[in-house]
């Protein structure tokens, strides 16, 4: 449960929350662009956004779940945080170039 969450898992959850916000914004933009331009590229970007959005929502669910596979492995928790941070940085760059 959230009360027993380690600091690493709290950081991972927060990063996933940021990712959800970024992905929701990007997906809305890409879906609008698809309706406007109808290109395969914009459809692919929108599909990518939906897939990544679902992945991050599921990750948040499992971070709050007591059945996490890595709940007792601090090194794995740290790796999860690093991966979430990399994803957040990549999404921030993607958000920046999409907004331009």
pTM of the model: 0.89
What burial class does residue 91 get, using C-beta atoms within 10 Å of its C-beta: 0-12 exposed, 13-18 middle, 19+ buried? Answer: buried
Return the closest-CA partner of residue 83 out of 6, 15, 14: 15
- Taking only the tens of pLDDT, the chain with its 100 residues reads 445 678 988 999 999 999 999 999 999 999 999 999 999 999 999 999 999 999 999 999 988 876 566 667 888 889 999 999 999 999 999 999 999 8
């Amino acid at each position: 449960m959230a009360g027993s969450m380690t600091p690493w898992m709290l950081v991972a959850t927060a990063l996933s929350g940021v990712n959800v916000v970024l992905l929701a914004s990007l997906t809305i933009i890409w879906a609008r662009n698809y309706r406007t331009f109808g290109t395969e590229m914009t459809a692919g970007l929108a599909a990518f956004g939906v897939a990544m959005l679902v992945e991050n929502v599921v990750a948040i669910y499992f971070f709050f779940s007591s059945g996490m596979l890595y709940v007792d492995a601090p090194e794995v928790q740290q790796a999860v945080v690093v991966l979430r941070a990399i994803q957040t940085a990549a999404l921030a760059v993607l958000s920046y170039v999409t907004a331009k």
